């Protein structure tokens, strides 16, 4: 049984205008990136929500997408997300997470849900339409005293996403953000067709990513609500990003705004 809040969200979703892509002459991919903020931050609305609720909140945003990049998700919700996406879209989906770890290699666990049930490990997650898609996980250079960061990609490098170090005291707060810049270079070296996620860098600091690439939102509108900064991105090859949409209507679901891009296929 859905909660009153979830039913309200369904009604809101039904009333919102359908997003179209007028004037597009080539088939496009629809990609969404979103930091769900569900794992350990008690200030976030999805903190300690059940895995079923996490899956619903993602799927209701992404019914028409072809690929979804998630950060601060929980591995325990992977199967729920795959089922929810398949139910809502009528298509097969493949979902895979790269769990974060502590410096000693132990899992960076999500806090349990409100009933005390475990939700797995905080993760960066990739969901792609299609059955039996294959994925690979790439470790990124991380501060030896902070969480270990990873990128997750499809094996054909069609899609690749990550969540770079936060910039907090225990996670790359040093002058010049040396670890985040190293992580960004490593992410770009994977040469994915569509790449993005929560980079925890403003556009000026992420300048290397713009070379030879289109970015979803050249206006650089803020995606991180707490400080009103742009730190979430979707990149594709030069000239291929056809349209961008920031879903500010769902800004109360997380401390990040969902970011959508329509990208022409190669």
The per-residue pLDDT for range 143-154, each reduced to its tens digit, is 999 999 999 999
Structure tokens at 209: 């990513």
Structure confidence by residue, pLDDT tens digits, 168-192: 988 999 999 999 999 999 999 999 9
3 is a domain residue: no
Q: Domain for residue 36, yes or no?
A: yes
Tokens, residue 115: 């009933």
Instruction: Tell whether the model's pLDDT for residue 238 goes beyond 60.
Output: yes
- In eight-state DSSP terms, residue 81 is H
- The number of domains in the chain is 1
Q: Is residue 156 part of a domain?
A: yes
Supply the pLDDT for residue 103: 94
CATH number of the domain residue 35 falls in: 3.60.10.10
CA-to-CA distance for 28 and 31, rounded, in angstroms? 10
Confidence (pLDDT) at 250:
82
Kindly report, residue by residue over 75-98, the tens digit of the pLDDT.
999 999 999 999 999 999 999 999
Q: Tell me which of 1-15, 111-125, 201-215 is least confident.
A: 1-15
pLDDT of residue 221: 96
- Whether the per-residue pLDDT at 19 is higher than 70: the answer is no
C-alpha dihedral over 240, 34, 60, 74, to 10 degrees?
A: 130
**Mind listing the pLDDT tens digit for each residue in 24-58?**
345 899 999 999 999 999 999 999 999 999 999 99
Q: 103 φ, ψ to 5°?
A: -55, -30
| pLDDT confidence of residue 252 | 87
Is 10 among the domain residues?
A: no
Per-residue confidence at 251, pLDDT binned at 50, 70, 90? confident
Residue 2 lies in a domain: no
Does some domain include residue 12? no
- The answer as to whether 19 is a domain residue is no
Is the pTM above the cut of 0.85?
A: yes
Q: Is residue 4 part of a domain?
A: no
As a whole-number percent, the residues of the chain with pLDDT over 70 amount to 90
- Containing 64, the helix (H) or strand (E) segment is none
> What is the predicted pLDDT for the residue at 249?
87
Quick one: pLDDT at residue 39? 97
pLDDT at position 156 = 97
What residues contact residue 133 under an 8 Å CB cut-off, 6+ apart? 94, 154
Q: What is the pLDDT of residues 94-151, one digit of tens each?
A: 999 999 999 999 999 999 999 999 999 999 999 999 988 999 999 999 999 999 999 9
Per-residue pLDDT at 20 exceeds 90: no
pLDDT above 90 (res 9): no
Q: Flag whether pLDDT at 235 surpasses 80.
A: yes
SS3 at position 46: coil
User: 212 is in which domain, residue-wise?
Assistant: 26-264
């Amino acid at each position: 049984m859905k909660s009153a809040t979830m039913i309200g969200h369904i009604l809101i979703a039904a009333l919102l205008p359908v997003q179209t892509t007028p004037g597009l002459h080539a088939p496009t991919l629809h990609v969404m990136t979103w930091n769900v903020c569900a794992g350990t931050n008690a200030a976030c609305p999805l903190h300690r929500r059940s895995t079923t609720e996490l899956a619903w909140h993602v799927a209701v945003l992404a019914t028409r997408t072809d690929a979804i990049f998630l950060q601060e998700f929980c591995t325990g919700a992977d199967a729920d997300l795959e089922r929810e996406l398949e139910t809502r879209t009528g298509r097969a989906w493949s979902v895979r997470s790269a769990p974060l770890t502590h410096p000693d290699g132990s899992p960076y666990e999500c806090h349990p849900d409100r009933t005390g049930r475990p939700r797995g490990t905080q993760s960066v997650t990739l969901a792609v339409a299609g059955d039996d898609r294959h994925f690979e996980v790439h470790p990124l250079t991380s501060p030896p005293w902070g969480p270990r960061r990873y990128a997750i990609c499809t094996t054909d490098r069609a899609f690749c996403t990550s969540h770079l170090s936060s910039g907090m005291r225990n996670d790359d707060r040093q002058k010049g953000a040396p670890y985040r810049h190293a992580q960004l270079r490593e992410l770009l070296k994977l040469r994915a067709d569509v790449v993005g996620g929560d980079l925890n860098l403003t556009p000026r600091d992420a300048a290397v990513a713009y070379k030879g690439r289109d970015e979803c939102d050249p206006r650089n509108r803020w995606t991180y609500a707490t400080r009103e900064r742009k730190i979430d991105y979707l990149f594709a090859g030069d000239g291929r990003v056809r349209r961008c949409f920031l879903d500010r209507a769902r800004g109360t679901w997380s401390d990040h705004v969902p970011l959508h891009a329509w990208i022409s296929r190669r």
